[in-house]
Structures are given as C-alpha cells and as structure tokens.
Amino acid sequence: MIKLAIKSLLNRRASVLLTVIAIAVSVTLLLAVERTREQVQTNFANTVSGTDLIIGARTSQIQLLLSSVFHIGSMTNNMSWEAFDDIRSRPAVEWAVPISLGDSVGGLPVVATTKDYFKHFRYGSKQSLTFAAGDAFHDEKQVVLGAEAASKLNKKVGNDITIAHGSGGISFSEHDEHPLTVVGILKRTGTPVDQTILTSLTSLEVIHGGESRDKHDHGDSHAHPPAESISAALLGLKAKPLALRLQRQINTYKPEPLTALLPGMTLQELWKTLRVFEQALTVISSMVVLIGLLGMLTIMLASLRERRREMAVLRAVGAGPGTVFGLLVSEALLLTVVAAASGLALLYLLEWSLAGVIQSQTGIVLSFAWPTVAEWWRLGLVVATGFVLSLIPAWRAYRQSLADGLTVKV
C-alpha cells in the first residue's frame, strides 16, 4: 500500500511538492513559537543565578529586574549610596554588588560596579564569570568588555573606548576627554553580560565631573563613597529563608522608597504577563497549519474527479473498496509526515543560519536541542489532523462505484 501511495504521489509531484512546502512552512512557524518561548525563558532564567535579592529605587519589580539585569528599559530614579551602605551592613547580607546604569558605548550598555561583581555574579548553574583575555579593572581609567561587546566594537585588550551619556542606542554626548582602556574581555556566557561594558563606579563619577576616588572602589563608604547614588544592587544572603523578611524590610524602608525583588518569583510574574501573547501566537500559528492541511484536503478532493478512472481500474484488477480507502489515507499521511519532518528540518536550518543575528540583536542564544516533549506533541497533532482530514476524500473514493469511472465522462 505504501509503495502504491508513493508512486501515486510521484505521478502528481508538482501539486504534491507545493502542498508539502505549504504545510512544512506552517509547521516551522508552529514549532518556532514553542521553541522561541522555551529559549527566551531559559535565557532569562540563566541570566542571574545565586542572587537572592535585587534592590533599587521604588518602581515595579518587573521593571527593576528588566533594567538592572537584562538592560531593557531604564530606571527613572536612583537609590542613595547611604541606603545601599545601610542595607549591605545588615547581618543577613553576605555580599552586595552595586550597579549604576545610564551610559553606553555604540548602543551597548555600560554597567558601573565594583570588582566584587566579578567575584559574586553568577549565571546558568551558578557559573562564575571568566576571562578570555586580560583581567578585571583596577582603576578609574579601565573597562572590561563582554564577549559580544568586544566583537561588535572590534576592541581588544589595550584599545581605548569612549563612553557616551545615554542608553538604548541614544547617546546625548560623548565623553571624549575621558577615554578608557580595555583591560579584560569576558568569555561568552549567553546572557546580557556578553553585550555590556563593565567599569568602576569611580570611572563614571570622574567622567561626569566628580572627584577621583579610585582608592575607595572596593566599597569603602566612610569618607568618600565611590558614588553618590546607584541604579540597583545585587544581594547574596547568608541564608535563603531570610530573603522574604529582608525583602519586606526593604520595601518598607523609611529613609527613602525602595523596592526589593526575588529574581525567580519576579520572572514567574513576567511569564504570566506574557502568557496571553504566547497563547495568541500559538493560536495564529495553529491556524496557519490548519490552513495548510485544508489546502491538502482541497487538492485531494479536486483530484478525485480526475482520478475516478484510476480508482475504477484498481477496482477492476481486484482492489476492494478498502484498498481504495487505504490508498487515499496513506497518501495523506505520507504528505503530512514528510511535511512535518521538513518543517522540523527547516526550523533547525533557520536556527543554524540566524543564530548569530538573533544573538547580536536580542542577546538570546539559540541551542540546537532535540525536540522537546511539547514540540513532539505539536508534530503529533499535525499528523493526527492530517489523518482525520484524509478520511473525507478517502470516504468519497470508497463510495465511488466501479462503473463510475470506466467510461470517461465529459
């Protein structure tokens, strides 16, 4: 039966090829929605690991997370260094890393921090930042580049760069009088760190007209803190159960309005917010697949009239009604399976060819993984839907009588 179905399809190769292409493209779209969702969630979850709390000036928790960790959007207010110093001195806090944002280089974000950032920041499965070349900054005239930033800016250790005021690709003024020297390039992490330019807090103070305080860059806050205010801070606690209590204390901090968030819980809130859009994309891509399958049904129904003589000849040589029925079902299943496999292959081809562009434009790293359970389910539903739709032309062919096609009808 399968051999007969293959020969029958090859005899109508032009229309079959167009049908396979239409269904394959729609299957690729359906799988791409699911894979994009998986990859985005995985990349977001891997961006910050081992950080118990993120604190900043009063704003929404999602906005604080996006701006401080993913460098999406901007902070409207800063928290004072006095508030940061007070919070990091509390018994529950094991380490604290300040972050100052707002500047850029060639549209890439500048993150001003301390050398503790390289010591305590974790990503993925609590992996530490490592250097592909050079080392961390040691004074106010040095910077460290993420792997993607070094590639985009075409910079190596020893080269100079100029920081511009403004972020998000909009630079209001460049600080040409304060060039900084690249002293280190980080290894690729697959997180927004790859696209950042890291420098000390004192660097921004000097660039923006402040006094040099490099000798206090390690966090000495007594006489001359390294900055008057910061955008946010990452906190690591001595015991994770203390996180909720400290979060409540920070959210009710009396000296100034602050916000503290738990990264994991805030990411879950973000996915809940985006779930409506995910469902909408899934529905749209499912409708595209259905349209492709309906196209296959239309072609099969349209060809039945032309194939009446073929079916009658099969009946005349001994093929029963069940054979004719099975032939039509087999043809539709072969079409659907080949189209689903082609759609999966096209998805991998697009991932391979566009991975670099997607990473450079969005920071999302695509991984060439075996299809997930959800993707297999989608492929199975496509094949099952093709099978159900094939029953319609198969039933019509089944009911055609032997005499219906022996004489050519005009």
The answer to whether residues 6 and 123 belong to one domain is: no
The answer to whether residues 130 and 167 belong to one domain is: yes
67-87: average pLDDT: 88
In tens, the pLDDT along 85-112 reads 999 999 999 999 999 998 888 888 999 9
Of the listed ranges 24-33, 54-63, 319-328, 394-403, the one predicted with least confidence: 394-403
- Between strands 232-237 and 93-105, the pairing is antiparallel
For residue 121, name the pLDDT band (cuts at 50, 70, 90).
Answer: very high
The answer to whether residues 39 and 60 belong to one domain is: no
H/E stretch holding 184 reads strand 180-186
71-88: average pLDDT: 88
Angle between helical axes of 13-47 and 321-362 (0-180°, round to 10): 40
Q: 301 pLDDT exceeds 80?
A: no
The answer to whether residues 292 and 256 belong to one domain is: no
Task: Please report which residue ranges of 52-98 form alpha helices under DSSP H.
Answer: 61-68, 81-88
The answer to whether 237 and 243 have CB atoms below 8 angstroms apart is: yes
Higher pLDDT, 309 or 149: 149
The answer to the question of residue 174 being in a domain is yes
The answer to the question of residue 268 being in a domain is no
What is the length of the chain?
410
Instruction: Out of 261, 283, 313, pick the residue that ends a domain.
Output: 261
* Residues 385, 335: Cα–Cα separation, whole Å: 12
Q: 322 pLDDT exceeds 80?
A: no
- Between strands 232-237 and 197-200, the pairing is unpaired
Residue 256, C-beta contacts closer than 8 angstroms, at least 6 positions apart: 57, 79, 80, 83
The answer to whether residues 115 and 236 belong to one domain is: yes
Residue 55 CB neighbour total at 10 angstroms: 27
The answer to whether residues 341 and 394 belong to one domain is: yes
Q: Which structural domain, as residue segments, surrounds residue 215?
A: 53-261
For residue 306, name the pLDDT band (cuts at 50, 70, 90).
Answer: low
* Residues 78, 230: Cα–Cα separation, whole Å: 6
The answer to the question of residue 267 being in a domain is no
Residue 204 CB neighbour total at 10 angstroms: 26
117-132: average pLDDT: 89
In tens, the pLDDT along 12-27 reads 778 788 888 888 998 9
What is the model's pLDDT at position 227?
Answer: 82
Q: What is the mean pLDDT of the chain?
A: 81
The answer to the question of residue 372 being in a domain is yes
What is the model's pLDDT at position 321?
Answer: 64
The answer to whether residues 393 and 307 belong to one domain is: yes
What is the model's pLDDT at position 99?
Answer: 94
What is the model's pLDDT at position 47?
Answer: 80
Query: Percentages helix, strand, coil for the chain, rounded to the nearest 5?
Result: 55, 15, 30
330-358: average pLDDT: 86
The answer to whether residues 86 and 212 belong to one domain is: yes
What is the model's pLDDT at position 230?
Answer: 93
The answer to whether residues 164 and 248 belong to one domain is: yes
Highest mean pLDDT among 170-174, 196-200, 375-379: 196-200
The answer to whether residues 310 and 194 belong to one domain is: no
How much of the chain exceeds pLDDT 90, in percent?
Answer: 29
Residue 290, C-beta contacts closer than 8 angstroms, at least 6 positions apart: 385
Residue with tokens 């493209």: 25
pTM above 0.75, yes or no: no
Higher pLDDT, 133 or 212: 133
145-160: average pLDDT: 92
The answer to the question of residue 266 being in a domain is no
Query: In 3-state terms, what secondary structure has residue 12?
Result: coil
Q: What is the sign, positive or negative, of the torsion defined by CA atoms of 153, 158, 160, 163?
A: positive
* Residues 360, 371: Cα–Cα separation, whole Å: 24
User: Residue 25, exposed/middle/buried by CB under 10 A (0-12, 13-18, 19+)?
Assistant: middle
Q: State the DSSP code for 177.
A: T
How much of the chain exceeds pLDDT 70, in percent?
Answer: 82
The answer to the question of residue 330 being in a domain is yes
What is the model's pLDDT at position 410?
Answer: 46
Cα separations in angstroms, 271 against 11, 41, 42, 44, 278: 49, 8, 12, 10, 9
What is the model's pLDDT at position 79?
Answer: 93
Residue with tokens 């190596």: 156
300-315: average pLDDT: 69
Instruction: Out of 234, 261, 288, pick the residue that ends a domain.
Output: 261
The answer to whether residues 255 and 283 belong to one domain is: no
Instruction: Out of 261, 284, 302, pick the residue that ends a domain.
Output: 261
Higher pLDDT, 366 or 158: 158
* Residues 47, 363: Cα–Cα separation, whole Å: 11
Higher pLDDT, 250 or 219: 250
Domain count, the chain: 2
The answer to whether residues 87 and 214 belong to one domain is: yes
308-332: average pLDDT: 71
The answer to whether 68 and 78 have CB atoms below 8 angstroms apart is: no
